[in-house]
């Protein structure tokens, strides 16, 4: 770990929870982002709405890395303020924070933080983490609209910048009418945590039904936005003629959608060649990623898609849709980036399943190289620091930042 530089910004991150099971992608990304920033010499603090006891397992390794973690206790939701949360934010901001980086929307804590930062003259950024994407705004539409009118939209408009993880997300933020500068900095991957070396023996010991098979892996929450029904249709057409292949579905159920997905697979005649593992973590997750023949995630929309990045880091080619920002799959020849729908998905899966293992490995190796070049967390930490320095008026505008009058490219 690099000692904090006296000239480096002190960044305070606000997030509702550090629990990866409750917060999923945003909480995992923040843990890894903050550790990379600490390695880069920044002074880093985090305030969450976790209860102190519940946060300790996630907080301990962060504190060991020199990061100040301050669980404030639950704030209760969007409109329930939470006295402890407010006092914690005030106390940490008073410690000389230079910039506030907010990673949540639909909760009182981040919006109190934005208001308190304005009062103290501290610039702040919002990272919506996909929560302002068109699909996400359709869920709980009325409650979100009310919260935006009462509180959130003003906080967004007064932010020094919005932090998007892809150009597509930045354009969608602009489409909502926010004229702020936008910084486009993706999430990263801990490359050392993911190996391109297959772990078939461990996978087949853990899930005996996969012995002797080739595998497509879907690893995400089981939710309609992930394109599950298109996947059921495409897999139904392919599974009958490919008895040595299995579709592995790894992830938590979202609002009972697994039953809907299973029923669609059964109607397609493909339930018997599909394995649901439930949520996977740690070694089980890494082993599944390293030991599939290809990864498939046919989402309608993703602001980034961390499991896509993890699959590429594991040396596996990816099949996904133009609803995700992964156009590099085509330019770097490490996967398929196809239109949304069962038909283009079926065509991509047919091509992948018709390839030999060696050819798929070559594609996967290109994906691993892409991750090494552009998506390591140390690279992301370097870019974020450049963005912070720009917002603070200490450095020129970086190439990934777009001023209010600039068009964010496709």
How many angstroms separate the CA atoms of 227 and 384, rounded? 32
CA 138 – CA 150 distance, rounded (Å):
18
| Residue whose structure tokens are 């993706």 | 186
The label of the residue with tokens 């907080």 reads 59
Give CA–CA dist 72/55, Å, rounded.
Answer: 10
d(CA 152, CA 338): 34
Q: d(Cα 47, Cα 396) in Å, to the nearest integer?
A: 29
Question: In which residue are the tokens 């910039």 written?
Answer: 99
Q: Can you read off the two tokens belonging to residue 130?
A: 């996909």
According to DSSP, the β-strands at 68-71 and 99-102 are: unpaired
Residue 56 is predicted with a pLDDT of 80
Q: pTM, whole model, 2 decimals?
A: 0.87
Which helix (H) or strand (E) is 363 found in, with range?
helix 357-374
The single residue listed with the structure tokens 């909502």 is 176
Task: Please give the pLDDT value at position 128.
Answer: 93
Contact status, residue 239 vs residue 245, Cβ threshold 8 Å: yes
- Give the distance, in angstroms, between the CA of residue 163 and the centroid of all CA atoms in the same chain: 13
pLDDT at 104: 84
pLDDT for res 20: 67
pLDDT of res. 379: 94
Q: Which residues in the chain show pLDDT less than 50?
A: 1, 76-77
pLDDT of residue 84: 76
- Measured distance CA(264)–CA(228) in Å, rounded: 9
Helices (H) and strands (E) counted in the chain, each on its own, are 17, 14
CA distance 116 to 256: 39
Closest CA to 77 of 29, 112, 101: 112
Sheet holding 245-250, edge to edge: 274-278, 245-250, 214-219, 294-297, 318-321, 335-338
Domains and CATH numbers, the chain: 10-188+376-402 (3.40.50.2000), 192-374 (3.40.50.2000)
């Amino acid at each position: 770990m690099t000692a904090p530089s006296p000239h480096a910004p002190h960044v305070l991150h606000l997030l509702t929870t550090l629990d990866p099971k409750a917060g999923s992608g945003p909480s995992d990304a923040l843990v890894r982002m903050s550790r990379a920033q600490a390695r880069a010499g920044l002074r880093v603090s985090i305030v969450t709405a976790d209860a102190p006891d519940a946060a300790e397992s996630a907080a301990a390794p962060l504190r060991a890395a020199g990061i100040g973690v301050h669980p404030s206790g639950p704030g209760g939701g969007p409109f329930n303020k939470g006295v402890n949360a407010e006092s914690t934010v005030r106390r940490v901001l008073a410690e000389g924070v230079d910039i506030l980086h907010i990673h949540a929307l639909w909760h009182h804590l981040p919006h109190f933080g934005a208001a308190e930062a304005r009062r103290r003259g501290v610039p702040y950024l919002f990272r919506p983490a996909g929560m302002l994407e068109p699909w996400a705004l359709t869920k709980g539409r009325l409650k979100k609209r009310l919260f935006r009118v009462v509180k959130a939209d003003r906080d967004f408009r007064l932010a020094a910048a919005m932090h998007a993880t892809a150009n597509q997300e930045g354009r969608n933020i602009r489409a909502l009418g926010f004229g702020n500068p936008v910084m486009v900095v993706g999430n990263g991957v801990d490359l050392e945590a993911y190996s391109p070396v297959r772990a078939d023996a461990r996978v087949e010991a853990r899930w005996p039904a996969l012995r002797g098979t080739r595998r497509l892996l879907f690893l995400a929450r089981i939710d309609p936005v992930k394109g599950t029904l298109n996947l059921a249709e495409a897999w139904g057409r392919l599974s009958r003629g490919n008895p040595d292949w299995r579709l592995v579905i790894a992830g938590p159920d979202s609002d009972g959608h697994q039953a809907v997905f299973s029923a669609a697979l059964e109607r397609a005649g493909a339930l018997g060649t599909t394995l649901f593992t439930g949520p996977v973590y740690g070694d089980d997750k890494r082993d599944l990623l390293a030991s599939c023949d290809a990864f498939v995630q046919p989402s309608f929309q993703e602001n980034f898609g961390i499991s896509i990045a993890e699959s590429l880091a594991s040396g596996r080619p990816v099949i996904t849709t133009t609803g995700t920002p992964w156009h590099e799959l085509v330019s770097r020849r490490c996967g398929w980036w196809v239109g949304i729908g069962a038909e283009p998905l079926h065509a991509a899966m047919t091509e992948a399943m018709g390839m030999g293992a060696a050819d798929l490995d070559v594609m996967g190796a290109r994906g691993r190289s892409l991750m090494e070049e552009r998506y390591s967390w140390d690279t992301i930490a370097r870019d974020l620091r450049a963005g912070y320095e720009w917002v603070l008026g200490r450095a020129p505008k970086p190439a990934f930042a777009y001023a209010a009058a600039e068009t964010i490219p496709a």
